[in-house]
Amino acid sequence: MALIEFRGVGKAFEGGVTALEDVDLEIGAGEVHAVIGHSGAGKSTLVRLINALERPTSGAVVVDGVDLTALSERDLREVRKGIGMVFQQFNLLRSRTVFENVAYPLRVARWGRAERERRVTELLHFVGIAEHAWRYPGRLSGGQKQRVGIARALAANPKVLLADEATSALDPETTGEVLRLLKRVNTELGVTIVVITHEMEVVRAIADRVSVLEAGRLVEHGDVRTVFTDPRREVTRRFVATALHDRPAADDLARIRARHPGRLVTARVRDDVRIGPALTAAATGHGVAFEIVHGGIKDVGGAAVGSLTLELTGPDDSVDRAIAALRATTPVEDLG
C-alpha cells in the first residue's frame, strides 16, 4: 500500500507561478524514493506538500491513509510528528550541543528526561557520533553535522524521513558515507525515505524507485534499474548519463575518432545480457576486429548497468553483419 500518495496534485503560487501540475505519485511503505529534477522543477514544493507546509491548489495529498487537504492545522501538527526532515544546510542549533540538538524535538514533544536521554544516546550511537555528544555544531565537519541532523530527524520515531538535498553541501566521499547511513535508516529501522536531489549519482547509490520532475510535471517514474537501463525522456537520459559517465561526450568522441578510424558503436551492457559471444562471433565469423574505446558500468539496484563504445574494423558489409548480430542481444547505437 502507498504510504504517501499524490492524486492529481497542482500547486500554483500567487503571482502566477505553477510549481506543480497534475502530479500523480505513489510512494510505498519501506521504500527509498528519489525525486530528481533541475533547479526550479518543483522538488521543494513537492516535499513541502508531504509535510503540509504548503497546501495543494488542486488534487489531494494522502499520507498514511489520511488526506492532508481535509485536516485542520492542529491535526496537521500530529501528522508532522510522523515525518522527519533532513536539510541541505543541516539547520542545527548553533548554541546547543550535539546531544541537545537531538534531544530538542523530544523536549518539544514533552518526553520525560530519562526517556529522552536513553533515546538520544541510542541515536547518537546509531549514526556514529556518540563521541562528539558534547561538542557544538561549529566544531563538526559537514558529514558529522548531517549525522546529527539525521539523528534529530529520527528522534521521535517517524515513519517517513524527507531528505531535501541532504548531501548537496558535502564532498563526494562524505556524500557516500551519509547515503550509506540513510540506507541503514531504511533497511534497519524500516523508515520510508523520500530523497530530493538534482544528482543522479545520489539516486543510483540509494534509491529503490525514482520520479523525474520537469517544469512541475512528473515526466517519468519507475524502479531505479529500469529507469537507468531504459530512460524514456530526454531529461532522464541526460540525468542517467551524468551518473554512469558511460557514453562519450562530444569532445571525448572527437578524441576517440582521431585515434580510431573504424566504425564506432555504443552497446548497452547489463548483467543479464551477454555481449561477449556476439563479439567473439563478429571476430571469428565475420573477420571483424574490435577494440573497446570508451565505457562505464556501474551497480544500479544490485545489477550492472552501463554501456561500452567499440571500434569495429573490417570490410563494410562484415561490420554491418557484426552490428546486426550484436543488435540481436542488446540495443546498439551506430556512431558511424
Residues forming contacts to ligand ATP in the complex (CB under 6 A) are 13, 15, 17, 19, 37, 39-45, 198
Q: What are 319's three cell numbers? A: 561490420
Given the complex with ligand ATP, which of 184 and 198 has the nearer CB atom?
Answer: 198
The half-sphere exposure of 265 on its side-chain side, counting CA atoms within 13 A, is 24
| Other CB atoms within 10 A of residue 50 CB | 24
Distance CA 221, CA 144 (A): 32
Distance CA 268, CA 175 (A): 28
Distance CA 260, CA 262 (A): 6
Give min distance, CB of 53 to ligand ATP, in A.
10
Given the complex with ligand ATP, which of 57 and 318 has the nearer CB atom?
Answer: 57
Q: How many helices (H) and strands (E) does the chain have?
A: 12, 14
Q: What are 60's three cell numbers? A: 489531494
Give min distance, CB of 11 to ligand ATP, in A.
8
Given the complex with ligand ATP, which of 48 and 184 has the nearer CB atom?
Answer: 48
Single-letter amino acid code for the residue at 257: R
User: Phi, psi (5° rounding) for residue 209?
Assistant: -130, 160
Asked if 50 and 61 count as a contact pair (C-beta separation under 8 A), the reply is yes
Given the complex with ligand ATP, which of 14 and 317 has the nearer CB atom?
Answer: 14
Contacts of 162 (CB under 8 A, 6+ apart): 47, 50, 51, 83, 84, 85, 86, 193, 194, 196
Q: What are 134's three cell numbers? A: 558534547
Give min distance, CB of 67 to ligand ATP, in A.
22
Give min distance, CB of 46 to ligand ATP, in A.
7
Give min distance, CB of 37 to ligand ATP, in A.
5
Please report, in angstroms and rounded to a whole number, the separation of the first and last CA atoms in the chain. 48
Given the complex with ligand ATP, which of 7 and 198 has the nearer CB atom?
Answer: 198
Give min distance, CB of 44 to ligand ATP, in A.
3
Given the complex with ligand ATP, which of 45 and 309 has the nearer CB atom?
Answer: 45
Given the complex with ligand ATP, which of 37 and 306 has the nearer CB atom?
Answer: 37
Burial classification of residue 335, based on how many CB atoms lie within 10 Å of its CB (0-12 exposed, 13-18 middle, 19 or more buried): middle
Q: Which residues is 266 bridged to in the sheet?
A: 309, 333
Given the complex with ligand ATP, which of 41 and 195 has the nearer CB atom?
Answer: 41
Determine which helix (DSSP H) or strand (DSSP E) holds 316, and give its type and residue range. Answer: helix 316-327
Give min distance, CB of 252 to ligand ATP, in A.
28
Give min distance, CB of 295 to ligand ATP, in A.
31
